[in-house]
Amino acid sequence: MAKASAKQYRFSFGPWNIDEGADPFGPTVRKPESLAKKIKVAKALGFDGVQFHDDDVVPDLDSKSHAQIMKEAAQVKRMLDAEGLKAEFTAPRLWFARETIDGGFTSNDPKCRKYAIERGKVCIDINNAIGGDWIVLWLAREGSYIRESKNARVSVLQLRDALNVMLEHDPKSIFLIEPKPNEPVDSAIIPTIGHAIGLSYLTNDPSRVGCLVETAHSCLAGLDPSDDMAFALAHNKLKSVHLNDQGGLKFDQDKSFGSYNLRRAFNQIRVLEEYEYGKHGEWIGLDVKAMRTQKQDGNTKHLSSSKERFLFLLEKVRTVDKKLEAQLIAARDYEELDRYILCHLMGVKYR
C-alpha cells in the first residue's frame, strides 16, 4: 500500500466511468447504476469530487425548461453536499445530439452551431448551480471525416468565436479544452495540447481558457503525456488531467492508470509533483473504463486501483535520490540514470 501523504491532491471521476460495458461490437453486459449510487461510491472510495456531463446532472435536458433544469441541478448539488463531495466540472455532451452529427461549434449548418452555443450556455448555468470549478470542452466532433468537408482555418475561428460567446455569458467561468486527435472523427481541429493552448490565446480572455491533458489522448497523438502536461504547466494552463492508460495507437482504451506503462505513469506524477500541482486548485481526474469482462460487483475496481497506483507512484516520485540523480545528470551518465530509475521503480537494490 502507498505511504505517501497525498493531501495536496484532490481526486475525481465521472459517472460514465462506472458503465455497463457496451462497445461498438456488443451490447451492455452490466446493469446501470444510479447517479446517487455513483456519488456514494465516489465517497466510499475516498474521492473528493465528481466530474459531470451536463446531461449526467439533468437527463434529457433539451426537453426541459431552464427553470426545471436549474431545479434538477440544485438537487444534484444537495446530493453532493450530503456526501461532502464537490463537483469538479461540467462538460456539454455535444457529441450525442442530432444537431451535432457534423460537429457543434464547427458544424457546416448555422442552426446547429447556434444549438451548440446555446447548449454551452446551459452547461455553464448547470455548472454554476452545482458549484463546479470549470467547464470542460472535449471537442469530440469538431473535426472532419474527409478534409474537403470543412475549412479547417474557419473551424478554428468558429471555435474561438464560440469560446468568446461562452466567456461573455459568465465572466467568472473557466474553460478547459480537452484535446484528442481522432475518434469519433477522423481528424480533430484541436488534436493536441499545443493546439488547445494556441486556441486559448486567440480568445478574448486567455486567462480563463486552460486545458486538460488526458493520458490516452496524448498517446493517440503519438506524444508523451508527461511532456504534454509539462508544456501546459509551463503556460500555467493545466487545471485538470484525465489519468488513464493506453496501449499504443489503438482505439481509445481508457485503461486503468499505469496498467500499460508504469514508467509513463511515474513520469506524469513526476511533472505534476515538481510544479506542486494541486496547490492552486487543480484536480487529479481519472477517465478510466472497466474491462467489458468485469462482473457487476467488480465494476469499480479500475477506479480504486488507479487511485492506489497514483499514491504508490507518488511515493516513488518522492523517494527518488535527488542527489544521485543530480550527480548522474552532471556526469551525463544517462545510462546509469536509466538503470537507477528502473531499480527504484522495480524496488530492487541499486548498485
Q: Which residues bind ligand 3MF (CB under 6 A)?
A: 16, 91, 136, 138, 178, 180, 214, 242, 252, 287
Q: From ligand 3MF, Mg ion, none, which one binds at residue 91 (CB under 5 to 8 Å depending on kind)? A: ligand 3MF
Minimum separation from the CB atom of position 138 to ligand 3MF (A): 4
Instruction: Decide if residue 53 touches Mg ion (CB under 5 A).
Output: no
Nearer Cβ to Mg ion, position 4 or 143? 143
Minimum separation from the CB atom of position 347 to ligand 3MF (A): 32
Nearer Cβ to ligand 3MF, position 144 or 215? 215
Nearer Cβ to ligand 3MF, position 138 or 231? 138
Nearer Cβ to ligand 3MF, position 3 or 248? 248
Q: What is the rounded distance in angstroms from the CA atom of residue 216 to the CA atom of residue 253?
A: 7
Minimum separation from the CB atom of position 249 to Mg ion (A): 17
Which residues, 273 to 302, sit near Mg ion by CB under 5 A?
Answer: 287
Q: What is the rounded distance in angstroms from the CA atom of residue 199 to the CA atom of residue 269?
A: 26
Nearer Cβ to Mg ion, position 53 or 150? 53
Nearer Cβ to ligand 3MF, position 52 or 340? 52
Tell me the Ramachandran region of residue 42: left when phi exceeds 0, alpha when psi lies from -120 to 50, beta otherwise. alpha
Instruction: Decide if residue 245 touches Mg ion (CB under 5 A).
Output: no
Q: From ligand 3MF, Mg ion, none, which one binds at residue 180 (CB under 5 to 8 Å depending on kind)? A: ligand 3MF
Q: From Mg ion, ligand 3MF, none, which one binds at residue 16 (CB under 5 to 8 Å depending on kind)? A: ligand 3MF
Residues that bind Mg ion (CB under 5 A): 214, 242, 287
